[in-house]
Amino acid sequence: MNIISDSLKKIKPSPTIAVTQKARELRAAGKDVIGLGAGEPDFDTPNNIKNAAIKAIRAGDTKYTAVDGTPALKNAIIKKFKQENNLKYTTEEITVGTGGKQVLYNAFMATLNKGDEVIIPAPFWVSYPDMVLLAGGKPKIVKCREADNFKLTPAKLRKAITKKTKWIIFNSPSNPTGASYTKAEIKELSKVLIKNKKIHILSDDIYEHIAYDKAKYFTIAQIANLKNRTLTMNGVSKSYAMTGWRIGYAGGPKEIIKAIRKVQSQSTSNPSSVSQAAAVEALNGTQKFIKTRSKEFKKRRDFVVSSLNKIKGINCLTPNGAFYVFPSCKKLLGKKTKLKTDTEFVEKLLEKSNVAVVQGSAFGLPGHFRISYATSMQKLKVAMIRIKSFCESLN
Ligand code: PLP
């Protein structure tokens, strides 16, 4: 009898984590690899947040906490949603998990029955389809066009909806493209969802604070009359450079939050007490840090986009958020270069030029690759020179 479950066989390990691991191994073997695969800010967690954690340890906040978040953290989240998104939630409408990833996983485990469909616009964050599969659901991938800035259109959304649709996922700004939906675009998509009353909306706002547009950020629950069907997920990982602390959260209908609590009570019990104390300071303390770091990210984005567009065979849109770009390498695939796929492209790039990026097919849109520019300008400069000479060697 095979020890591994059938549902686990349907999924693969996270390809972005795999690339990061491969780069780490090559570096350990003495290769001068520049890793542009990781989805985490290179900045350190701000000191006021670290100090809050140290204080919590000293004060003995080292025990189990309430299953889905301490009252102090839930209050800080309620305040954040009200002030930044004009969303009013009560304590029973908030859940805290071990990273946004766990909140999403809990949500699918709590709500999906066999065969329930989840609409996932592609390119997508690598974990969505596999989480849906693990929970017994069916990912319904909807490919978005580069000409639409990789964004879902109302027509495509309408076409993807079936009687079995349970959730639709929105991720703005997006991983892997960095594209964000405007208020007008969200309104148009909402019209379709308002008509389809059974569908729930999962808004993944994890990159909310890494945005370069002057335009204000909008999340779907705030605009349309859809709050009673929307789970608005966010977290401290990206905004506050706290990936290792593992705190994510969501606001949503009581019934779903309660079901998520049930899943969590039988899995992790609660997110780390110390990390929760740190997250309270992240949300309640100074927010100055967000602006200065976004400015730095913007400088890097501008440099990376303009460098890539100078390379023959590469085309790169200018995204307005997150810390990723998703250039096309289609013109470099084919008989002439002997590279058949984006996966071959990124493998050769790593092998010949020591730059680690992730193939677009991992995100559901082949012919592209993802670069994370959450690394120093110095490394980015070297990486761009290497990518250029690699691509020129193919032409
Ligand atoms: N959602 C998206 C789109 C992401 O890119 C990530 C992390 O890479 C997450 C959610 C989860 O982040 P975390 O679990 O660190 O909160």
- Domains and their CATH numbers in the chain: 6-44+289-394 (3.90.1150.10), 63-284 (3.40.640.10)
The two tokens of residue 385 are 């020179």
In the sheet that holds 369-372, the strands lie side by side as 324-325, 369-372, 358-359
The pLDDT confidence band at residue 13, using thresholds 50, 70 and 90, is: confident
pLDDT score recorded for residue 331? 96
CA distance 86 to 221: 9
Q: How far is the CA of 236 from the centre of ligand 1 (A)?
A: 10
Q: Which atom in ligand 1 lies closest to the alpha carbon of residue 103?
A: 14
pLDDT for the residue 151: 97
Mean pLDDT of 195-213: 94
pLDDT band at 335; cut points 50, 70, 90: confident
For residue 395, pLDDT beyond 80 = no
pLDDT tens-digit series, residues 85-127: 999 999 999 999 999 999 999 999 999 999 999 999 999 999 9
Taking alpha carbons only, the member of 159, 147, 79, 149 closest to residue 117 is: 159
Contact 339, 326 (CB under 8 A): no
pLDDT of 17 above 90: no
Task: Decide if 199 contacts 167 (C-beta within 8 A).
Answer: yes
Mean local confidence (pLDDT), 76-82: 98
Which positions ≥6 away from 295 have C-beta within 8 Å? none
Tokens at residue 22, please?
């491969």
- Using pLDDT thresholds of 50, 70 and 90, give the confidence band for residue 45: very high
Query: What integer pLDDT is reported at residue 231 of this predicted model?
Result: 98
Residue nearest to atom 8 of ligand 1 (CA): 39
Paired tokens of 354: 């020591």
Question: What pLDDT score was predicted for residue 240?
Answer: 97
What's the pLDDT score for residue 2? 86
pLDDT the model gives residue 169:
98
The answer to whether residue 215 scores a pLDDT higher than 80 is no
Three-state SS string across the chain, please? CCCCCHHHHCCCCCHHHHHHHHHHHHHHCCCCCEECCCCCCCCCCCHHHHHHHHHHHHCCCCCCCCCCCCHHHHHHHHHHHHHHHCCCCCHHHEEEECCHHHHHHHHHHHHCCCCCEEEEEECCCCHHHHHHHHCCCEEEEEECCHHHCCCCCHHHHHHHCCCCEEEEEEECCCCCCCCCCCHHHHHHHHHHHHHCCCCEEEEECCCCCCECCCCCCCCHHHHCCCHHHEEEEEECCCCCCCHHHCCEEEECCHHHHHHHHHHHHCCCCCCCHHHHHHHHHHHHCCCHHHHHHHHHHHHHHHHHHHHHHCCCCCECCCCCECCEECCECHHHCECCCCECCHHHHHHHHHHHHCEECEEHHHHCCCCEEEEECCCCHHHHHHHHHHHHHHHHHHC
Where does ligand 1 bind, in terms of residues with CB under 6 Å?
39, 99-101, 125, 171, 175, 204, 206, 235, 237, 243, 248
What local confidence, expressed as pLDDT, does residue 276 receive? 98
For the segment 206-217, the average pLDDT, to the nearest whole number, is 88
Q: Does the pLDDT at position 278 exceed 80? A: yes
pLDDT, residue 61, reads 96
Tell me how far apart the alpha carbons of residues 288 and 106 are, in angstroms, rounded to a whole number: 32
Point out the least confidently predicted range of 14-23, 68-77, 168-177: 14-23
Share of the chain above pLDDT 70, in %: 100
- Is the Cβ–Cβ distance between 278 and 75 less than 8 Å? no
For a mutational test of ligand 1's pocket, the pick from 175, 208, 324, i.e. the residue with the most ligand atoms closer than 8 A to its C-beta, is 175
237-276 per-position pLDDT tens digit? 999 999 999 999 999 999 999 999 999 999 999 999 999 9
Q: Are 176 and 358 spatial neighbours (Cβ–Cβ below 8 Å)? A: yes
How many residues are there in the chain?
395
**Beta strand pairing call for 200-204 and 165-171:** parallel
Report the separation in Å between the CA atom of 117 and the middle of ligand 1, taken as the mean of its atom positions. Answer: 21
CB contact at 8 A, 61 and 277: yes
Q: Which atom of ligand 1 is nearest to the CA of 104?
A: 10
Atom of ligand 1 minimally distant from the CA of 39: 8
Does the pLDDT of residue 63 top 80, yes or no?
Answer: yes
